[in-house]
Structure 1
């Protein structure tokens, strides 16, 4: 039995694939932005917050890092309605991604904060900076510069992991591809194209992160 590649049914559905890719980009970018804010707050709590808050954040991080992402999605989408909180697939997917990346990024940023020498903190206080100002201007930016490569790698991994949200029909690229594959029976061709699209999106995010790094974390040039 001979197998012939037939990409025609896949290309005929290119608009649906582009819509799915755009949904993936929207989900990933939103989760990255919100997750970064959550991670900064979590890292601050773990390094400078009161003991109670440190315990809460530590518990959150450990729970998320030691449970499967798929189970987290199911808990949010299927479990929360039992408590009276029902979310649509997009909102549930976004919430799951934010909570997930927030936990991992919290530990990454925490490591960056703890790499800052205490002498820099003392210098900040000596200049009259308040604790919040010291954290923002003396600690946070150098810490983010240090962990930026690890942080962006985690964000790229989040974008690739977002394919899991297709299990709740969130309308992402993988969900659209599964629908097209079941309708056209061109599974190999569909997933070949989807793989290429994820690769292109990963390269795109990596290029964007490189631009952000040069703009936000470059050292002043000597004159």
Structure 2
């Protein structure tokens, strides 16, 4: 007997899907914002900081890049209360995902920083620019342009990774889908629906990254060797 797909029972729970989608957007946005800040600081600290700071950041990066996100999430959610730090579900999820993203972003941004020719930095010093001005104008923005496609791809993975927060009962989209599936017994229809929602969210975030890139990289950066091409033309976030 052929299986007859029925989406109406799933769509009857549209308010739950909307609530889960909103929670996913909040979780992803907060995790991405904190993770990118952490990754930028980590990359600068590892390349420009003292040796002890570089070692500490390298240790953090290796630990978080070589352990599963689920394990990190459980450690944050279950271990922190054992030392007297009670954290809500959403806070634990954001913290774990931001720390995970920060480790990957550190290495991605660091790769862009070390790709900047030393001659440009020396030219900035010869012009009397401060260390902060050199980091901001000569190192960080050109480096961000170089690694923008890789970074936005990692941010997209973070958006999709929010589904793992359902393991600690965060009321995001995957958790809502699990509840709907248990009530309707329409597994295929439920997960096809949330797959389409995730695809829509991914394209929405990629469009947002494209807009941000247009604002940040409104002109090409000329290096001592070549012109760094606009990453938006090479498919940022693909």
| TM-score, length of structure 1 as denominator length | 0.96
Distance 2:65 2:45 in 1: 18
- Alignment of 1:98 with 2:66, yes or no, is no
Deviation string 1:21-61 (CA, Å, 9 cap, x unpaired) is: 11111111111111111111100111010111111100000
Deviation at 1:218, TM superposition (A): 2.5
> In structure 1, what is the equivalent of residue 214 of structure 2?
214
Matched with 2:152 is: 152
- Structure 2: state its 5+ residue gaps: 221-238
Number of the residue aligned with 1:11: 11
Aligned-partner Cα distance in 2 for 1:71–1:51? 29
User: CA RMSD, aligned part only?
Assistant: 1.2
| Long gaps (5+) in structure 1 | none
Following the alignment from structure 2 to structure 1, what is the Cα–Cα distance between the partners of residues 148 and 19?
30
Q: Which residue of 1 aligns with 2:175?
A: 175
Q: Does 1:26 align with 2:26?
A: yes
SS in structure 1 opposite 2:116? coil
Q: Which residue of 1 aligns with 2:232?
A: none
Secondary structure class of the residue paired with 2:18: helix
SS across alignment from 2:3: coil
What is the SS of the residue equivalent to 2:71?
Answer: helix
Moved over 6 A (4+): none
**Partner of 2:231 in structure 1?**
none
Aligned residues: 221
How much has 1:81 moved relative to structure 2? 1.1
- Per the alignment, residue 113 of structure 1 pairs with 113
- 1:192 Cα deviation (Å)? 0.5
SS in 2 for 1:43: helix
The TM-score normalised by the length of structure 2 is 0.90
